Structure 1
Amino acid sequence: MTSESSSDSDTIALPHPPDREDQEKGSTPIEAAAPRPSLSEFPDGGLKAWSVVVGGWCCLFCSYGWINVIGLFQTYYQEDLLPSYAPSTISWITSVETGMMYLSTPLYGKIYDNHGPKPLVIWGTFAHVFGLMMASLGREYYQIFLAQSICSALGAAALFSAGTGPIGSWFFRNRALAFGIVTSGSSFSGCLIPIVVTRLLPRIGFPWTMRICAFIFLGLLCIPLVVLEPRVRPKPQPWEIRAFLRPLYEPAFLATTLGLAFFSWGMFIPFNFLVLEAQSHGMSLSLANYLIAILNAVRYGAIHSHLPTSI
């Protein structure tokens, strides 16, 4: 049950507190919320708001953008570094790396709600860069798995949560534009990193290629360490398992969650096996590696073709 909308078009309607009858039935009461801000309180622009967008862009460039190039590593590990392992075994490295991004996000979301983005950026920068550095030293399967699939992926997931979390508090009317720009960081990274890796691998080898990527990320992540912050100060709340499960009782939220789950289930298969599939049809490795960059360039163009033209 909702309250009557205010005559002011910039005021958002608020839900009523739960009825006494609902509380007596044992349903979890909804805490009385403070009045939500009017739309005029969102900056929707300005130096500070757009600097947050830049910080979020850098976070997605280094986190989700790295996941977008997993196909390069499936090919390299299978043909060079770990040739004695079956392709299905090697695919666990890239699939667990992607899975860790999603599995850890609810926990990072709670940390963000309680403490803001800065702790996530600090931890994410350390774990992601350290994991890539350790992967550059790896020669055994378990070493690569622990460094890239666990350590680096946990750091990347923290950066993803930190980069996307603050945007909604700074923008309302221009929120789609701001999120589109931030999201483009992952696609731009997916265009650039495959070219960097493809050009560097035969020249300087796998260890220094990974280290150079780690140094690029370290430099970019200095920006969100400085500029990334929410407009509304976080209010710590206790950790409760029910808080994670309660939204799933809403049919609309559950349907959206399942839809995104199935979408992500199929989306990363081309990213992981595109290069190998192209090679199996006669394409040279040097050209097949660029397919990852081309695929991400198409995504990058699709994002910008749907952005509004005015800010």
Structure 2
Amino acid sequence: MESSADLEQVNDQPKKCSEHTKRAWLTVAGSFLVYFVSFGYMNSFGYFQDYYTQNDLADYSPSLVSFIGSLQLGLMYLVGPIAGVLYDAYSATWLYLIAAFGGIVSCVGVSFAKPEQIWQHMLSQGVLFGVTVPFGTNVALPIASQHFKQSRALAIGVVASGSSLGGVCLPIMYSYVVPRIGFSWSLRLTSLIILAFYGAAIIISTPNVPRKSLRSARNILDFGGFRDVRYCTLALANVVGNFGLYVPFFYLEPYIAVHHPGAAVGSFLLPMINGSSFFGRIIGGFVADHVGGLNLLYPLTMLSGVLCLTIWLLATGVGIIVSFACLYGFCSGILISVMSSVVIRISPENKIGARLGAFSTWSAIGVFTGTPIGGAIVRNGTVMEYQHIIIYTGTCMTAAGALLLVARLLCDRNLRTKW
């Protein structure tokens, strides 16, 4: 592609929404599959964090090991603008192929990475996967949402729930197959799943907006949304929230090991968080269509912080820790799924991909630094250090909820209106 070449102008007006048609829901199903093997795989990093610190990368600090997962998420957010605007101009099929190729090569690369060579894991699992995965995630969301108007938040919730279901199934699969066929072959099995799911997504997904011409390299980064104070406030809230959002996903299993070493439930905490998040994303999307996305976002985000500062901070028994995992997964799932629908609502229809991509760039700040900060706090894994990381997480989530309330008031000061 010649970035400076002017292409022929095409009609960039969206077609009529095809809500509740077979074509629309098949596209949602395809996007669901993409989220399963993209975000679902990244949401499973809590399993890899625990495995690496006990096996292949035991000589490295938890903070450094967690940076592999942060690289995945952070690079996904950074490359998001490029993937988003390329979707606005080019076929989803080619972008899905890039994401599938990157995911497959990444998993195969991890399977051949040598123990105690953390740079090999960072390059294959962190950098390669993180750079290519947005060509799936930043396509899956807009291609599905463009089919819907009234039920857009529900459709986005269904798509986003794919990441939760992947975050449930993949850790359980690893817990079962790694002891039987080994870690390396488990990653090769994952590559086959990625191939199958992306292949199905390519077959059943259909765009609903005509392609828009890509005039120059400047169109790759559409930061025009930052001229809107609502967009800016949402972006700031997302950054602050991402400082703490993924900390329980990475560190809840090590936390229960401190209080209850060898507890059988420990390996199921991550699937519990992701399983609860599955219901949170679907129910949250349904409710958001009726009461408004921001009306749901700010109280549930604040509640996520309060849960950390109360239940998790005081939890020492297995039952209380499990309860926190389920409640936090449900509330945080709403934040992850509904935020995109709010950004889409305040974005031009023909710039959704690029605006979501620009939004994700700012999110990378929190993602890159959040979990490594958590790892630095729990360097020695003491009870006191875990209390500090809990306070850190709860404060970030509560502050993000307050910023979302500000964004809601900027949209309409009447909190009873649907927004």
Equivalent position to 1:304, from 282, 285, 302: 282
The structure where helix makes up a greater share of residues is: 2
The alpha-carbon deviation at position 65 of structure 1 amounts to 0.9
The alpha-carbon deviation at position 86 of structure 1 amounts to 1.8
Q: C-alpha separation between the residues in 1 aligned to 2:34 and 2:221?
A: 27
Kindly indicate whether residue 113 of structure 2 is the aligned counterpart of residue 143 of structure 1. no
Structure of higher CA gyration radius: 1
CA RMSD of superposed structures (Å) = 2.2
The residue aligned with 1:103 is 78
The residue aligned with 1:87 is 62
Structure 1 segments unaligned to the other structure (5+ residues): 1-32
**Secondary structure class of the residue paired with 2:133:** helix
The alpha-carbon deviation at position 106 of structure 1 amounts to 1.0
Kindly indicate whether residue 186 of structure 2 is the aligned counterpart of residue 209 of structure 1. yes
5 Å-filtered alignment, 1:61-210, equals: 61-139=36-114, 140-210=117-187
Amino acid at match of 1:51: L
**Secondary structure class of the residue paired with 2:213:** coil
Kindly indicate whether residue 211 of structure 2 is the aligned counterpart of residue 234 of structure 1. yes
**Residues 293, 37 of structure 1: alpha-carbon distance in 2 compared, 3 angstrom cutoff:** closer
Q: C-alpha separation between the residues in 2 aligned to 1:306 and 1:156?
A: 25
The alpha-carbon deviation at position 236 of structure 1 amounts to 1.9
Preserved CA contact (<8 Å) 1:118 1:162: no
Q: C-alpha separation between the residues in 2 aligned to 1:218 and 1:121?
A: 10
Q: Deviations over 1:178-231 (max 9, x none)?
A: 111111111111111110011112221110111112211211111111122311
Equivalent position to 2:202, from 218, 225, 250: 225
Q: Deviations over 1:277-296 (max 9, x none)?
A: 12122242653121000011
Kindly indicate whether residue 227 of structure 2 is the aligned counterpart of residue 249 of structure 1. yes
Amino acid at match of 1:110: V
The residue aligned with 1:57 is 32
Amino acid at match of 2:61: A
**Residues 130, 181 of structure 1: alpha-carbon distance in 2 compared, 3 angstrom cutoff:** same
Amino acid at match of 1:218: L
Structure 2 segments unaligned to the other structure (5+ residues): 1-9, 290-419
Q: C-alpha separation between the residues in 2 aligned to 1:195 and 1:121?
A: 26
Q: C-alpha separation between the residues in 2 aligned to 1:170 and 1:188?
A: 23
**Secondary structure class of the residue paired with 2:222:** helix
**Residues 116, 261 of structure 1: alpha-carbon distance in 2 compared, 3 angstrom cutoff:** farther
Preserved CA contact (<8 Å) 2:14 2:209: no
Q: C-alpha separation between the residues in 2 aligned to 1:288 and 1:302?
A: 22
**Secondary structure class of the residue paired with 2:58:** coil
Preserved CA contact (<8 Å) 1:128 1:154: no
The residue aligned with 1:282 is 260
The alpha-carbon deviation at position 308 of structure 1 amounts to 3.8
The alpha-carbon deviation at position 155 of structure 1 amounts to 2.5
The residue aligned with 2:242 is 264
Equivalent position to 1:43, from 7, 13, 18: 18
The alpha-carbon deviation at position 96 of structure 1 amounts to 1.3
**Residues 107, 243 of structure 1: alpha-carbon distance in 2 compared, 3 angstrom cutoff:** closer
Q: C-alpha separation between the residues in 2 aligned to 1:84 and 1:35?
A: 54
The alpha-carbon deviation at position 36 of structure 1 amounts to 5.6
